[in-house]
């Protein structure tokens, strides 16, 4: 039997208990591996002798390996290409910046240096959004909770990670159990990330949204809306046919009523498709009863994989003005970063020879 990742939490804790070993030792193992991903089990001090035998027979410190790490020219972003034990690859992106630099809505940003990890939950994606390169891969496999957490382990060797966004490859809520288990480990020792610093992005998997707050309170929810009416959503996001806009908005209203938390709305700006004044008013009316932040995302061209063009800068500004001025909806334009490496919003596709990209800024910038 192939060894599993020691970060597959339910498996390792269950096996410890079955062997009569307290699962309280598991976080000690994780702490050591987090600092030493290539360690041998006998290097970890103070475990019961039975734990060493169990770990040697059933688990590996990391089942994945860091294949490459490519820095942007400004050293702000790093794209990680991670090889899984089955030979497949996933990408993750580390974004580093100082929140004291720049302003938001005319006010200085609080805080200081920090890093955010954009993490993948699947190899490929079955959603098929036709503005997204990852969708061109199709769906290959779900990641285990351990494989999700190992991205954080690899990234932590490069930067101290404070925020995690599930905005990499895949639809997180289509791999619900593994994502939830991974987040539970992220928010416990030794990682100890705050749930408020973790954001899960979804195209709108209604039944999973209905479960999410009960399983993961205080988590940030981001919804890839991308259009204010169902027919445009279906045009650019084929999976939207299974999640009608009216039912999705009802689910979000219920989620917000229960959670009392702001919801982030992601809206990619496509020239002549969803960026006209009428679309801004439709979006404003759709969201005016919600407590939301709308992120207007410049479209990152993906070559022949998509027919779309980026909205003109002035169109984006006018769209933002309509949402803010007419509907009083907090709206930001997501800045592009690190244009010399492949790791952008919508551009994560495993093509190791690819050289062109625009990197997203961090959704966590919105926590002011």
Mean pLDDT per 10-residue run, the chain (368 residues)? 90 98 98 96 96 98 96 89 96 82 47 84 88 76 97 96 95 97 98 97 97 95 97 93 96 96 96 97 98 93 73 96 98 70 49 38 38
Neighbours of 203 (CB within 10 A): 25
Q: Tokens standing for 321?
A: 């003005």
pTM given for the model? 0.88
Half-sphere exposure of 275 (CA within 13 A, CB side): 21
Judged by phi (left if over 0) then psi (alpha if -120 to 50, else beta), residue 170 lies in left
Place of tokens 């860091």: 66
**What is the residue-wise DSSP string for 146-185?**
HHHHHHHHHHHTTS---EEEE-SSS-GGGGHHHHHHHHHH
Closest by Cα among 87, 79, 22, 8 to 50: 22
* pLDDT on residue 305: 60
Per-residue buried b or exposed e for 176-186, using 16+ beta carbons within 10 Å of the residue's own CB:
bebbbbbbebb
**What is the residue-wise DSSP string for 11-76?**
HHHHHHHHTT--GGGHHHHHHHHHH-TT--GGGS-S--HHHHHHHHHHEES-SSEEEEEEE-TTSS
* pLDDT on residue 127: 85
In contact, 360 and 344? CB cutoff 8 Å: yes
Which residues are marked as active site?
Answer: 91, 345
Neighbouring residues of 278: CB distance < 8 A, sequence distance ≥ 6: none
* pLDDT on residue 2: 73
């Amino acid at each position: 039997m192939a060894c599993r990742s020691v970060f597959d939490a339910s498996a390792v804790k269950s096996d410890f208990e079955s062997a009569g070993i307290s699962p309280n030792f598991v976080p000690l193992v994780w702490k050591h591996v987090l600092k030493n991903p290539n360690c041998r089990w006998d290097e970890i001090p103070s475990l019961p002798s039975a734990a060493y035998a169990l770990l040697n027979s059933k688990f590996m410190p990391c089942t994945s390996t860091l294949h490459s790490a490519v820095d942007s020219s400004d050293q702000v972003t790093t794209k990680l290409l991670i090889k899984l034990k089955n030979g497949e690859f996933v990408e993750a992106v580390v974004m580093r910046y100082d929140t004291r630099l720049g302003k938001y809505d005319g006010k200085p940003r609080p805080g200081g240096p920090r890093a955010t990890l954009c993490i993948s939950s699947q190899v490929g994606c079955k959603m098929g959004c036709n503005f997204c390169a990852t969708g061109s891969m199709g769906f290959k496999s779900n990641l285990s909770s351990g494989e999700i957490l190992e991205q954080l382990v690899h990234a932590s060797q490069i930067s101290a990670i404070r925020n995690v966004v599930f905005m990499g490859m895949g639809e997180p809520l289509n791999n619900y159990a593994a994502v939830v288990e991974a987040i539970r480990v992220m928010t416990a020792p030794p990682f100890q990330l705050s749930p408020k610093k973790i954001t899960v992005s979804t195209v709108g998997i209604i039944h999973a949204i209905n479960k999410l707050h009960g399983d993961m309170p205080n988590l940030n929810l981001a919804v890839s809306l991308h259009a204010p009416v169902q027919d445009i959503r279906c045009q650019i996001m084929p999976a939207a046919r299974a999640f009608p806009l009216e039912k999705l908005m009802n689910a979000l209203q219920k989620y917000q009523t229960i959670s009392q938390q702001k919801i982030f709305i992601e809206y990619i700006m496509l020239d002549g498709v969803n960026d006209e004044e009428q679309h801004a008013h439709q979006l404003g009316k759709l969201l005016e009863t919600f407590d939301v932040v709308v992120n207007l995302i410049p479209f990152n061209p993906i070559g022949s994989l998509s027919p779309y063009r980026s909205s003109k800068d002035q169109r984006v500004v006018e769209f933002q003005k309509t949402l803010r001025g007419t509907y009083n909806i907090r709206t930001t334009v997501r800045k592009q970063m690190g244009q010399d490496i492949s790791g952008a919003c919508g551009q994560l596709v495993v093509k190791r020879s690819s050289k062109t990209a625009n990197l997203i800024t961090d959704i966590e910038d919105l926590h002011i």
